[in-house]
Amino acid sequence: MRYEVTLPSMGDDSDESAKVSFWLVKEGEIVMEGDDLIELTTDKAAFTVPSPKTGTLVARTVDEDDDIAAGDVICILEV
């Protein structure tokens, strides 16, 4: 089953966006729930997004240097 991983809310500021710094996982790699997938930066901080499920990363839907917002799909896992 395919599962779309979305960027969670970054706090109270719903207009805040983040820039993709770099991916920590390659397509085809197996990830465990809680493993960090991607590093993002905002004007305020840098943070990582953990995998919400165990599975195989089958597609990245954002690239490094992309600007993304809460709710955007960042990748697809096969779970």
Token couple for 39: 């590093």
Q: Above pLDDT 70, what percent of the chain?
A: 95
- CATH number belonging to the domain at 2-78, selected among 2.60.40.10, 3.90.950.20, 2.40.50.100, 2.60.260.20: 2.40.50.100
**What pTM was computed for the model?**
0.91
For the chain of 79 residues, list the mean pLDDT of each consecutive stretch of 10: 93 76 98 99 93 99 97 98
Q: What are the CA-CA distances from residue 19 to residues 29, 57, 59 (Å)?
A: 23, 20, 18
C-alpha distances in Å from residue 5, one per residue of 20, 28, 38, 43, 66: 15, 15, 11, 23, 16
